[in-house]
Amino acid sequence: MKSDRIKKLLFRIDEGKKLIDSFRPLPPSVVSRLQKQFILEWTYNSNAIEGNTLTLKETMIVLEEGLTIGNKSLKEHLEVINHKEAITFVEDLSTSETQITERNIREIHSLVLKGIDSRYAGRYRDIQVRISGAIHVPPDPLHVPDAMQKFTKTRLARSKTHPVEQAALAHLDLVGIHPFVDGNGRTSRLLMNLILMKHGYCPAIILKNDRMRYYGALDKGHRGQPDDFIFFVGRALERTINLYLEAIPEVKTRFITLAEAAELSPYSKDYLNVLARRGAIPAFKFKRNWIITKESLLQYISNHKE
């Protein structure tokens, strides 16, 4: 049973997705700019969470100019290059009609560790590991293949579960199995976004600055309480949706805030806010404000004159 806050969050996310879809196809310049921004942010933050010391600007230089950064290791440079290649692979998979497979996960991992650890790239671990700072202990290496087969059937199969929930739980469970010696976090985040993108959503980028909340939510999830992690992933996705909306010029011209809507209607801003939260009016949460088109507002007023 989903909690109220998760239901509301998923509602906002779906409304945001509908809004973005209503403007498709987006101008090529907008798509190109957003793709470049997401590859940079996704690569920098995912690597930084795992301890890579390249800054955002240094990551951009490696990605866009192919230059090396002084006093930084070859491994850190390869992590940047590899992650971009893994994103490209995930983007290609997301447009395929075929279901995500266990092999795809190993292929993603192989790209993540390419040139870094040729022995274990794309191969399940043969040693016991521990997740640093976590209470949860991953299964014995002998049980990993069976755990991954079960994972594929439960988390990668077509499901009636909301895609955001499915993606978050897939990430949670894959990290819990910890099937690889290294690169589990990056692979899990790539898989999470592959599931989201296959369902037409934007990628959810988990920020380095949220690392402790991220780890805390993961740990809680591994203790059988996944709601905080699902909510955490949903909020990360909502941030990406807002970045999309900020890049679409028509959003600013077509939508008005509820404060502006109150001036055009017999309802107060507070009452409109209640209607928006209940889903009674087609409003969308954009950053901290609910927004609605003037046409939708006038249609609601016309339908509720009584």
Residue from 203, 204, 175, 206 nearest 188 by CA: 175
Contact 156, 170 (CB under 8 A): yes
222 is catalytic: no
Residue at 242: amino acid letter: N
Distance CA(196)–CA(258), nearest Å, equals: 30
Residues ≥6 apart with Cβ < 8 Å to 7 = none
* Residue type, position 294, single letter: K
One of 178, 199, 222, 304 is an active-site residue; which one?
Answer: 178
Question: What are the backbone angles phi and psi of residue 293, rounded to the nearest 5°?
Answer: -80, 150
Measured CA to CA, the distance from residue 11 to residue 209 in angstroms comes to: 26
User: What is the rounded CA–CA span in Å between residue 253 and residue 292?
Assistant: 11
The residues annotated with a catalytic role in the active site are: 178
